Amino acid sequence: MRASWDEYFMEIAELVKTRSTCLRRNVGALIVKDNRIISTGYNGPPSGIDHCEDLGGCYREMLHVPSGERHELCRALHAEQNAIIQAAKFGVSTEGGTLYVTHQPCIICAKMIINSGIKKVIYGNPYPDEAAMKMLTDAHIEMIPFNTNDK
């Protein structure tokens, strides 16, 4: 049976996350317009910066920071951030796009998603950040949980 567009793009997001070097959670994202991928991103440090595994571990883990808190301590960019940044770097508009992401966005990513003009987010796994969900829905971003069991 042929995959739906959402299934197709979520499978690609799952593949994109295999490039992640995060020691806590691997996340993949892609931005799509008119059923065409315009950008991808995964979580990891900025280009040319050492990865946590090269530095002996995750700083947030060492400090026992709970998931969803103290994002500023992380040396990595989130997958959503990297997808938006890559589109900007190469001059591709994200206005009206759909973001496919393996995990629900955090509050920092929510702000970037809103200002980038993305109109819909299809996400796989939940994330402990109710404020992000409220902000995204307040901004009229369509939030769609993707359940692989619904295929």
pLDDT in tens, 45-72: 999 999 988 989 988 889 999 888 888 8
* Residue 150 confidence (pLDDT): 47
First-residue to last-residue Cα distance in the chain:
10
> What does each C-alpha distance from 85 to 62, 79, 92, 102, 112 come to in angstroms?
28, 10, 10, 18, 10
Q: Please give the share of the chain, as a percent, with pLDDT higher than 70.
A: 97
pLDDT of residue 8: 98
Q: Which residue among the candidates 7, 61, 80, 142 is catalytic per the annotation?
A: 80
Predicted local distance difference test score (pLDDT) of residue 71: 83
**Is 14 among the catalytic positions?**
no
What pLDDT does 6 receive?
97
Position 70 scores a pLDDT of 87
Q: What is the mean pLDDT of the chain?
A: 94
pLDDT tens-digit series, residues 19-46? 999 988 999 999 999 999 999 999 999 9
